[in-house]
A and B are shown apart, each in its own frame.
Chain A
């Protein structure tokens, strides 16, 4: 089975995030990026599938700051190939990006394309379902478990989560795109020494993406523009307390203690 995992880095949400001078975008100075946590889960689920059912796992990412480190780490964890798409830095929006991915994926053998369920840095559609629609394959989001059917059946059985802990079991014919919410186990850790070692020996394959010349890049924007980006007024409605004494007073007043 050929498994492809799409991964990207996003701003670390634990850090302070500020709006830049234009009032329309995130200030990128001092910005700390980290691998999108759901992509780490997608990779983990992919690795587990490969371990139980065999096959080849390829991680695909767009060229961006520090993306090499993410890709070497994926190799250290057990990915077979890593692929970096260059020349697509100016492609705007998920619709444009999806066209780039569609082109790249069409040229790669793939049975299962795994993405993270979401990335917290954009809101112009969801990449996985757009890619699936372009490739005309089914897509299921919010997946927490994937099981591969018997060889030759060409299908997987997945768990899709609804609210209240209710889960739907769905059978999906391959090829398909799955948006992974959580892998069956916490994503594995790759020791720094192993990543360094891989960095010496392994290579990252590069592929020129559609780039500026393609129609995807030219007309592929999301179709809407940012009016403003703002930080919600932190604690606007909250009364900030100075310590546990004040908290005790609140709890007493509410009749909780």
Chain B
């Protein structure tokens, strides 16, 4: 077993995802601490991606028919082939939609443990310690992954993108693509429907969560957003319930926003929501639960009923405007 760290690159529509650079930053630090190299697994990528992966010491590519688009089965088989060729100490995968398909699959087939949803990985003597978020962000758990091989999947936003960005010409090598098993077939990508408000372009967002309680009550947030010259955005459950269109979803599977003001009303602050809004300039959270994780990311907090705050704030702004 070498002391290398293998970072699994992720790409969509021909471009590397930001998570790849976050993982590279974390991977480089970890590899240095372990006395190994930081190696990237690039499956179905292109030459441009290799240049962008200059922060890595080596890039191991797998190319072949049907690999340029992601499907869990053939990418899983390809990753296992890279793993066997590199024989790394640690594999870093994004805890993303693609990464969730790969991490436990690899760990199980390689017979090594997988620590999911990590926010930090450090070397501790011979061992590696991983901190993960549990219970919707209410508790953190640090585990000792031991001194052997392991897979860790990392939440987006846990590392700095810049730390993994460098142009260069890393050493590349190829691993032959395993024969396709054809069990999963990529058909097409479906883009979200446009036409609604673009929440990524708004300076002020009034973000509502399940605390709003019912569809009819969204009106009060709409009114406040209008006074603030902003738009209403929301957490996933509201979109899944059909209370808000998909175009308003902030988070892991929604949009990434960074407005001047993000006013979160009745949003608990689950890691998947935080991923989409933590870079907002000013975050204000209103929640009746003082333990709500959103307060760990907010700049200002109010432990109050969102309806009281909404009403009073709307009135105060109207009064100010005269």
Q: List A residues at the B interface (Cβ < 8 Å).
A: 11, 13-14, 16-17, 19, 26, 41, 94-95, 98, 117-118, 120-126, 128-130, 132-134, 137-142, 157, 159-173, 176, 179, 181-182, 186, 222-241, 243-245, 247-248, 250-251, 254, 256-257
Contact = CB atoms under 8 A, between A and B. Distances in A.
A257 B313 CA distance: 11
A124 to B, nearest CB: 7
Contacts of B71: 170
B139 A229 contact: yes
A228 B140 CA distance: 8
A79 B20 CA distance: 42
Interface string B254-278: 1110001100000010100000000
A172 B74 CA distance: 12
Contacts of A126: 100, 103-104, 114, 116
A139 B72 contact: yes
B139 A173 contact: no
B261 A251 contact: yes
B302 A247 contact: yes
B145 interface: yes
B172 interface: no
B291 A181 contact: no
Contact of B141 (A123, A160, A238): A123
Contacts of A233: 296
A230 B290 CA distance: 16
B191 interface: yes
A118 B247 CA distance: 23
Interface of B: 12, 69-73, 96-98, 100-101, 103-105, 107-109, 112-118, 129-130, 132-146, 148, 150, 182-192, 203-204, 228, 236, 240-242, 246-247, 249, 252-256, 260-261, 268, 270, 281-282, 284-285, 289-293, 295-304, 308-309, 312-313, 316-317, 320
Contacts of A247: 284, 300, 302, 309, 313
Nearest to A250: B300
Given A163-B252, A169-B190, A231-B138, A133 B146 contact: no
Contacts of A248: 313, 316-317, 320
Q: Which 3 A-B pairs have the closest CB atoms?
A: A165-B192, A223-B113, A129-B104
B138 to A, nearest CB: 5
B192 A164 contact: yes
B255 A164 contact: yes
Contacts of B187: 157, 168-171
A256 B184 contact: no
B253 A161 contact: yes
A141 B71 CA distance: 11
A167 B185 CA distance: 14
Given A13-B135, A125-B107, A126-B104, A161 B97 contact: yes
A160 B75 CA distance: 15
Given A129-B105, A186-B240, A14 B289 contact: yes
B295 A235 contact: yes
A224 B104 contact: no
12 contacts: A118-B100, A123-B116, A162-B96, A163-B252, A168-B187, A170-B185, A224-B145, A229-B141, A230-B139, A240-B300, A240-B301, A243-B304
B236 to A, nearest CB: 8
Contact of A129 (B108, B182, B186, B228): B108
Nearest to A221: B113
Given A14-B268, A142-B100, A240 B302 contact: yes
B190 A167 contact: yes
Nearest to A126: B104
Given A26-B139, A169-B187, A238-B300, A163 B145 contact: no
A257 B252 contact: no
B302 to A, nearest CB: 5
Nearest to A13: B136
Contacts of B291: 16-17, 231, 234
Most chain A C-beta atoms within 10 Å of own C-beta, residue among B140, B185, B240, B292:
B240
Given A129-B100, A223-B113, A134 B135 contact: no
Contact of A165 (B98, B255, B270, B284): B255
A195 to B, nearest CB: 22
Contacts of A256: 203-204, 228, 260-261, 282
B108 A172 contact: no
Contacts of B285: 238
B303 to A, nearest CB: 7
Contacts of A254: 260-261, 281-282
A28 to B, nearest CB: 13
Given A26-B139, A257-B320, A222 B184 contact: no
